Structure 1
Amino acid sequence: MNITRENIDALNAVVKVDIAKEDYSDKVEKILTDYRKSANIPGFRKGHVPMTMVKKQYGKAVLVDEVNKLLQDALKKYLTEEKLDVLGNPLPKAQDDLDWDADSFSFEFELGLAPEFEVDLKGKKAITHYKIVADDKMIDGQVEHIRKQYGKLISQDTVTKDSEIIGVFVNEEKEINNNATLTLDKIKSKTAEKALIGAKVGDVVGMNTKGLFKDDHDLMNFLKVAHDDAHDLDVEVTFIIEEINTRELADLDQELFDKLFGKDEVTSVTELKTKIKEDSEKQFGQQGDQKFLNDVTEHLVENTKFDLPAAFLQKWMQTAGEDQLDADQAKEEYENTEKSMRYQLIEGKLIEKHNLQVTFDDLKAFAKDMIKVQMAQFGQMNPQDKELEDIAARILSNREEVKRLSEQLMSQKLLELYKNEANLKVKEITYDEFVKEFYS
């Protein structure tokens, strides 16, 4: 067997594989001999079928199969030994004149080669890493929410501004019939607010859904309509009042603090606010990190210049998926995924350059930390290490979970790399400002 490569340019090559008779003949002969021992052909005893007949019936199929196996193994070995960084998979060149009756064969494969490039994390323009802080307004709002959540419901005769109103939204045409607990701070429509204030249990209040709530998405919760319907919904609904309550705020005392955080973990309103601030900013940190990671990714893709073997990749995409694509579809698919491919190459270069690795010990520790967080959400604050080990072992026995966690952990390692190496500036911003600037 002989394998040669012709480099067309820096991004494209053709590999030629020459297979001679001595490369496959012994294997083909052995398989046909085994066939002869077990073949059932009318007129011949089992194991006594003439080899000429076996070759006539099975020879071509066995030859094709063995040559293809030999070809794939040789190509894979060649790419590994030559350390060729290829994109996609080798594409066989069409051979309409291939003669399977010949003794030797030649096959050619097109290769798309990964480009050579360098990644510079320290660009001239600094990337902003937003540190989201919990301001006094937000902390006070959280304290108010806690006091309401743990407060006592007191029945009312009529609706006031602070009432919690339990009732049913109805519209027969849209098949709306949904129980809901309504508070007036959600209402945007002054007409609806005026109609509700002073209403009593049993009253039926008519409302128009257009502009009813401050956030149109609330229609999904209160009326149980689909997301696509919520934004343009313009119908009359009735709200049948079944119960009216006000909520007496819970006292900020030790009993409440112990319910929230465990005995004597928090002993004053000042400590409560400090705890809320710490927990909130820890959660906000994940959002700030994700924004930073997205911005660095965008920066690297835009500022790391290299060419791709676009024509080869589009040709490869035509047959790479479950459904075959025509040339126009493959071009569209390439354009949709080009950025992603570029970042994968950049990421791979950074992982190699900075020797970023995910070891099994890293993965187990990461899984145990994740489990502890999940258990804490259900009130299990101090799980035993053996319990964590057992759960982590079950998770890491699942190949898909290992893949998912490995990707998350590598993303964390890249994030730390970017924080340490990239040209960044830290900017403090409140959560409301962050949401308004990036999600409104």
Structure 2
Amino acid sequence: MNITKKDVDSLNAVVTVEIQKDDYAQKVNDILNNYRKSANIPGFRKGHVPMGMVRKQYGKAVLVEEVNKLLQDNLGKFLTEEKLEVLGNPLPKNEQDIDWDGEDFSFQFDLGLAPDFDVKLQGRKNITQYKVVADDEMIDNQVKTIRKQYGKLINKQEVEAGDEITGTFTSDEKEMEQKTTFETEVVKGKSQLKAILGAKPGDVIELKTKNLFADEHQNTRYLGVSQEEAKGLDITVKLTLEEVNARELAEMDQELFDKLFGPGVVTSEEALRQKIKEDAESQFVQQSDQKLLNDVVDSAIENTKFDLPEEFLQRWIQVSGEKELTDEEAQAEWERSEKGLRYQLIEAKLRKDNNLEITFEELKSYASDMIRAQMAQFGQTNPTDEEVEGIVARIMANQDEVRRMSEQLGTNKMLDFYKENAKLKTKEVNYETFIKEAYA
């Protein structure tokens, strides 16, 4: 057997695999002899079927199967030994021309090769790294929400500002019948609010949906329409009022603090506000990190220039799925996947060049930290090492869990690397500003 590679250009090559009779003959003969021993053919005793008949009936099928096994095994070994960074899979070039009645075979495969490039993380523009803080307004609103949640409901017979009302929205036009509960504070339209204030249980109120709520997305929550319908919804609905309640706010005392965080964890309103701030900002870090990661990825793709074997990859996309795609479908799929492929190559190079690969010990340590944090949430603050190690062992035996943790740890490593090496500028904002700027 002989395997050679010929470069077409820096991104494309052709591999030729030459297989001679000596490479497969013994294996084919062994298989046919086993067939002969077990073949059950009328007119012949088992094990006494003439080899010529066995070869005529099974020979070509066995030959094709064994040659293809040799081909795939040795082609894969060649690519590994030559350390070729191949994109997609080798594509047969001359499979229609193979003469299976011959003894020697020559197979050719097109290869798409990964480009050689340097990653450019730092472009001309700084990337914004948001530091999201919980401002006084947010903390005030959270305190108010908590006090409402743990306060008392007082039933009323007439709606006043700030009350909580329960009723059913109906509309023949939209075939709507949605029971819901909301506070008068979420009503934006002045005319709609005027119609609701003073209403009593049993009243039927006609309301325009345009500008009914402060946010159009609330149409989905309170009216039960789809997200598509919620945008710009402008119909008349009827609200049948069923119940009116006022919420008496819970007292800011130790009883409330203990309900929220456990006995003695928080002992004052100031400490409560600080705890709310810390918890909120901890959650904000995850969102701002995800935004940073997305922006760095986009910047790296934009600033790191390299060519790809596009024609080869489109052909590979065309034939690699369960159903062969048309030229137009393959082109469209390539356009959808090109950005992702470029980042895969960029990330792989960064991991290799900067020793960012994940080790088994790092994965075990990550799993251990995760388990301890989860146990702490349920009050187990001091588990023994044996307890934790036992759980980690079970997790590490689950391939799906290992894959999930590897992805999480890998993302964390890349994020830390980007924070140290990308061109960043820090901007401190409140959550509302972050949402407007990050997801405009």
1:126 equivalent in structure 2: 126
Measure how far apart 1:185 and its partner are: 1.5
Counterpart secondary structure, 2:96: coil
Once the two structures are superposed, the pairs formed by residues 10-29 of structure 1 within 5 Å of their partners are 10-29=10-29
2:283 equivalent in structure 1: 283
Distance in 1 separating the partners of 2:373 and 2:240: 42
Structure 2 unmatched ranges of 5 or more:
none
Distance in 2 separating the partners of 1:392 and 1:177: 49
Once the two structures are superposed, the pairs formed by residues 84-233 of structure 1 within 5 Å of their partners are 84-233=84-233
Letter in 1 for 2:405: L
Contact 2:121 2:303 in 1 (8 A): no
Letter in 2 for 1:356: L
Classify 1:250/1:426 alpha carbon distance in 2 versus 1 (closer, same or farther; 3 Å).
same
Distance in 1 separating the partners of 2:187 and 2:366: 44
Once the two structures are superposed, the pairs formed by residues 356-367 of structure 1 within 5 Å of their partners are 356-367=356-367
Distance in 1 separating the partners of 2:325 and 2:182: 52
Distance in 2 separating the partners of 1:344 and 1:188: 47
Q: TM-score, normalised by structure 1?
A: 0.95
2:338 equivalent in structure 1: 338
Once the two structures are superposed, residues 80-103 of structure 1 have per-residue CA deviations (whole angstroms, 9 ceiling, x without a partner) of 000000000000103433211211
Structure 1 unmatched ranges of 5 or more:
none
Once the two structures are superposed, residues 51-72 of structure 1 have per-residue CA deviations (whole angstroms, 9 ceiling, x without a partner) of 0000000000000000000000
Once the two structures are superposed, the pairs formed by residues 193-342 of structure 1 within 5 Å of their partners are 193-342=193-342
Measure how far apart 1:396 and its partner are: 3.6
Measure how far apart 1:233 and its partner are: 3.1
Counterpart secondary structure, 2:432: helix
Greater alpha carbon shift after TM alignment, 391-400 vs 408-417:
391-400
Greater alpha carbon shift after TM alignment, 167-176 vs 272-281:
167-176
Measure how far apart 1:207 and its partner are: 1.2
Is residue 398 of structure 1 aligned with residue 398 of structure 2? yes
Contact 2:209 2:236 in 1 (8 A): yes
Distance in 2 separating the partners of 1:253 and 1:350: 53
Distance in 2 separating the partners of 1:51 and 1:187: 89
Counterpart secondary structure, 2:97: coil
Contact 2:165 2:181 in 1 (8 A): yes
Classify 1:375/1:242 alpha carbon distance in 2 versus 1 (closer, same or farther; 3 Å).
farther
Classify 1:371/1:76 alpha carbon distance in 2 versus 1 (closer, same or farther; 3 Å).
same
Letter in 1 for 2:114: A
Counterpart secondary structure, 1:337: helix
Measure how far apart 1:200 and its partner are: 1.0
Measure how far apart 1:309 and its partner are: 0.5
2:9 equivalent in structure 1: 9
Taking only the aligned residue pairs, the percentage that are identical comes to 57
Distance in 2 separating the partners of 1:48 and 1:61: 21
Greater alpha carbon shift after TM alignment, 387-396 vs 10-19:
387-396
Contact 2:291 2:438 in 1 (8 A): no
Distance in 2 separating the partners of 1:239 and 1:302: 52
Number of residue-to-residue matches in the alignment = 439
1:34 equivalent in structure 2: 34
Q: TM-score, normalised by structure 2?
A: 0.95
Classify 1:285/1:314 alpha carbon distance in 2 versus 1 (closer, same or farther; 3 Å).
same
Distance in 2 separating the partners of 1:165 and 1:289: 39
Measure how far apart 1:203 and its partner are: 1.2
Measure how far apart 1:206 and its partner are: 1.4
Counterpart secondary structure, 2:286: helix
2:381 equivalent in structure 1: 382
Letter in 2 for 1:164: E
Letter in 2 for 1:120: K
Distance in 1 separating the partners of 2:178 and 2:367: 40
Letter in 1 for 2:156: Q
Classify 1:243/1:372 alpha carbon distance in 2 versus 1 (closer, same or farther; 3 Å).
farther
Counterpart secondary structure, 1:358: coil
Letter in 2 for 1:226: S
Letter in 2 for 1:218: Q
Counterpart secondary structure, 2:10: coil
Letter in 2 for 1:321: G
Classify 1:205/1:394 alpha carbon distance in 2 versus 1 (closer, same or farther; 3 Å).
farther
RMSD: 1.8
Is residue 43 of structure 1 aligned with residue 43 of structure 2? yes
Contact 2:186 2:213 in 1 (8 A): yes
